[in-house]
A and B are shown apart, each in its own frame.
Chain A
Amino acid sequence: MPRPPLASWGQLPAVPAAHERWLSDRAAPLPAVAGSVLAYGNGRSYGDVGLNSGATLLHTRGMDRFIAFDEATGVLTCEAGVLLAEILDVFVPRGWFLPVTPGTRFVTVGGAIANDVHSKNHHRAGSFGGHVRRFELLRSDGSRRVCAPGENAEWFAATIGGLGLTGLITWVELSLKPISGVGITVASTRFTGLDEFFAVNTEAEARHEYTVAWIDCLAPTVRGIFMAGDHSAGQGQAAAARKALNFPLTPPFSLVNGLTLRAFNQAYYNRPVPAMSVVHYAPFFYPLDGILHWNRLYGRQGFYQYQFVLPMAARAALADVLRSISTSGQGSFLAVLKTFGDLSSPGLLSFPMPGVTLALDFPNRGAPTRALFDRLDAIVGEAGGRLYPAKDARMSGEFFRRSYPRLNEFLPFVDAKFSSDFARRVLL
């Protein structure tokens, strides 16, 4: 089997790591190597938080054992390289689900902690770190610490959302939540304009566990489809059992361009959406997991995802962002719009804050793309918002340091031996 390509999910051109080590024993010491090291989970971060150009990557996927499960409470202990997909495969049939899941199930538990990932239920559940009870952190000096809210709490807070810089997470204890079945009841509503989005959203958040909207940002007035979901005892006739398709190769140029985008968004918006349906959880949470390596669609130059959050009070700036995008002529496929609730995370560098978040994909067209991002940064920064490191490959260090106010509390916990392209770009 070819080794996983050591680019990140956005496949942007990057200098590869000089060395790679495959970890499989959680009790083993860190490999002795010269230069810096960085844990590499399943490579689902878009930008450079998971890259360590010219130095060493420590692959964690071989640390993929379950350790214990309490059938009464749903508390699971497992190694940090276990995929969320593996947890679902084993525990959904027994009536348990992830408390928080990102939009792909092909991420490791360690990666989910290091980026403190969020889901469509942020308004109810907060981020992933809030459901982590304990983990072990292995440092380059050989020390091992069990970190929990009540034990080594400051290490716990630094490592949740800590971007892999505080050391290696070896095992994790987290709480699964009980569900009544594999289905999700989905209510879909079309909306036009941001005011309507916020109105629909406020009502939906009060009544539903999961909320998210897809928007067509190429339309003259923003329009989209709002989806609200809840676990259901129903089955959901789904594509779940179908084998995933694979996008087998990277075309020399991006298949995503103005023409295909407009056509796609148009069709997506106008597809028939039943007001109410029951679907299997997989297509609801992981619509893109059905096509492996869909990221290759963007061609050899790769693509960026731009995800930001704005404080709720500054939500008007969202319209400015969308206007800048549409005048730039560089559209995005399905853009995902969602609000974050006010449950705070223990993580010092956690991305979510109460407000509204938008995620958009852009093919890498070089300078014009980056110039657009600089304009968007100005709007987001001015409004008191920030960008998600898991998706970022280009924000300035100045912007990062300004928008993550607890950075100075975090820095003392960075392991001197651990580094990443992201860290070298923005921390100093």
Chain B
Amino acid sequence: MQKILIIGATSAIAEATARLWAARGDALFLVGRRADRLQAIAADLCVRGAASVGCHTMDACDGAAHAAMFEAAHSALGGLDVAFIAHGTLPDQKACEASVEQTLREIDSNGLSVIVLATRLANTFEKQGHGSLAVISSVAGERGRQSNYVYGAAKGLVSLFLQGLRNRLAKRGVHVLTIKPGFVDTPMTAEFSKGALWAKPETIARGIVHAIDRRRDEVYLPGFWWLIMALIRHIPERVFKRLSL
């Protein structure tokens, strides 16, 4: 049985992932903004076989609330094997261009809040000498694009931060996983029309659980995004800037 903390537990990808852990009989602690949704998800995970499921309501951007949350998680789980950070928001890029406040809010919810959480978790794991920190970043963090660069910048921040953390913690037996999903059919992307590149949250969830089990460093999900991103990264900037991606 693993003791697992999930932050952003109401996310579709996080919920699908939690179901796989519940079926294995793991103990779960769910953190999110909406108490009623957390309760509904917790009841479901209990029926599916989770050893125990605790809930805690918290806005990830409210840094002052983090300490109480970690304490609640610690006393409910009695330890920590896996911390999974999944929350995020998809900004309205045009609105961000017109508003510094909005841009900073998005950088906070997708970037800074994650770094604040990861910093404390890293220290906890480092002290105990084991554990997995798994964080959902995005393929969008690999190259700035006109249609989505505020989100991309925040995710890029997360990916680089985790890379450094991994480098630091590898010597301490602590595992750090950067998860880079491509297009996933979730409430976040409900407005998009879906083509062949789109994956279901269940597919991403299987990839996440597998990557944590195998202690992988970085995963593209589904895997073919590795190739797509390798191509996109290699387009020379002088060409890239003319494209409308």
A residues near B, CB below 8 A?
A: 1-3, 22, 24-27, 65-69, 76, 78, 90
Are A65 and B198 in touch, CB under 8 angstroms? no
Given contacts A22-B190, A25-B37, A27-B36, contact A67 B44 (CB under 8 A): yes
Contacts of A66 in B (CB 8 A): 43-44, 47-48
B residues near A, CB below 8 A?
A: 23, 36-37, 40-41, 43-44, 47-49, 185, 187, 190, 194-196, 198-200
CA distance A24 to B186 in the complex (A): 11
Contacts of B47 in A (CB 8 A): 66-69, 76, 78, 90
Query: A67: nearest residue on chain B (CB-CB)?
Result: B43
CA distance A76 to B199 in the complex (A): 30
Are B43 and A2 in touch, CB under 8 angstroms? no
Partner of A2, one of B48, B190, B195: B195
Contacts of A27 in B (CB 8 A): 36, 40
Are A65 and B194 in touch, CB under 8 angstroms? no
Nearest-neighbour CB distance to chain A for B22, whole angstroms, equals: 10
Interface pairs (23), CB distance under 8 Å? A1-B185, A1-B194, A1-B198, A1-B199, A1-B200, A2-B194, A2-B198, A3-B194, A22-B187, A22-B190, A24-B187, A25-B37, A25-B40, A27-B36, A65-B43, A65-B44, A66-B43, A67-B40, A67-B47, A69-B47, A76-B47, A90-B23, A90-B48
CA distance A76 to B43 in the complex (A): 12
The 8 closest A-B pairs by CB, nearest first: A66-B47, A65-B44, A1-B198, A66-B44, A69-B47, A1-B185, A1-B200, A67-B43
Contacts of B43 in A (CB 8 A): 65-68
Contacts of B49 in A (CB 8 A): 90
Nearest-neighbour CB distance to chain A for B51, whole angstroms, equals: 15
CA distance A22 to B185 in the complex (A): 11
CA distance A24 to B23 in the complex (A): 21
Contacts of B185 in A (CB 8 A): 1
CA distance A90 to B44 in the complex (A): 11
Contacts of B200 in A (CB 8 A): 1
Identify the interface centre among B37, B44, B194: most chain A CB within 10 Å of its CB: B44
Are A65 and B41 in touch, CB under 8 angstroms? yes
- What's the count of A-B pairs with C-beta under 8 Å? 39
Query: B37: nearest residue on chain A (CB-CB)?
Result: A25
Query: B23: nearest residue on chain A (CB-CB)?
Result: A90
CA distance A68 to B46 in the complex (A): 8
Are B36 and A2 in touch, CB under 8 angstroms? no
Contacts of A68 in B (CB 8 A): 43, 47
Nearest-neighbour CB distance to chain A for B52, whole angstroms, equals: 16
Contacts of B196 in A (CB 8 A): 2
Query: B184: nearest residue on chain A (CB-CB)?
Result: A1
Contacts of A67 in B (CB 8 A): 40, 43-44, 47
CA distance A235 to B187 in the complex (A): 40
CA distance A68 to B40 in the complex (A): 10
Contacts of B199 in A (CB 8 A): 1
Are A26 and B40 in touch, CB under 8 angstroms? yes
Contacts of B41 in A (CB 8 A): 65
Nearest-neighbour CB distance to chain A for B29, whole angstroms, equals: 18
Contacts of B37 in A (CB 8 A): 25
Are A65 and B40 in touch, CB under 8 angstroms? yes
Identify the interface centre among A2, A66, A69, A78: most chain B CB within 10 Å of its CB: A66
Query: A24: nearest residue on chain B (CB-CB)?
Result: B187
Nearest-neighbour CB distance to chain A for B71, whole angstroms, equals: 28
Nearest-neighbour CB distance to chain A for B34, whole angstroms, equals: 9
CA distance A26 to B43 in the complex (A): 13
CA distance A1 to B190 in the complex (A): 12
CA distance A25 to B38 in the complex (A): 11
CA distance A190 to B199 in the complex (A): 46
Contacts of A65 in B (CB 8 A): 40-41, 43-44
Contacts of B23 in A (CB 8 A): 90
Nearest-neighbour CB distance to chain A for B99, whole angstroms, equals: 28
Nearest-neighbour CB distance to chain A for B6, whole angstroms, equals: 16
CA distance A2 to B40 in the complex (A): 28
Nearest-neighbour CB distance to chain A for B225, whole angstroms, equals: 15
Contacts of B198 in A (CB 8 A): 1-2
CA distance A24 to B201 in the complex (A): 14
Identify the interface centre among A2, A3, A65, A69: most chain B CB within 10 Å of its CB: A65
Query: B199: nearest residue on chain A (CB-CB)?
Result: A1
CA distance A76 to B47 in the complex (A): 9
CA distance A76 to B187 in the complex (A): 27
Contacts of A3 in B (CB 8 A): 194
Identify the interface centre among A1, A3, A69, A90: most chain B CB within 10 Å of its CB: A1
Nearest-neighbour CB distance to chain B for A42, whole angstroms, equals: 14
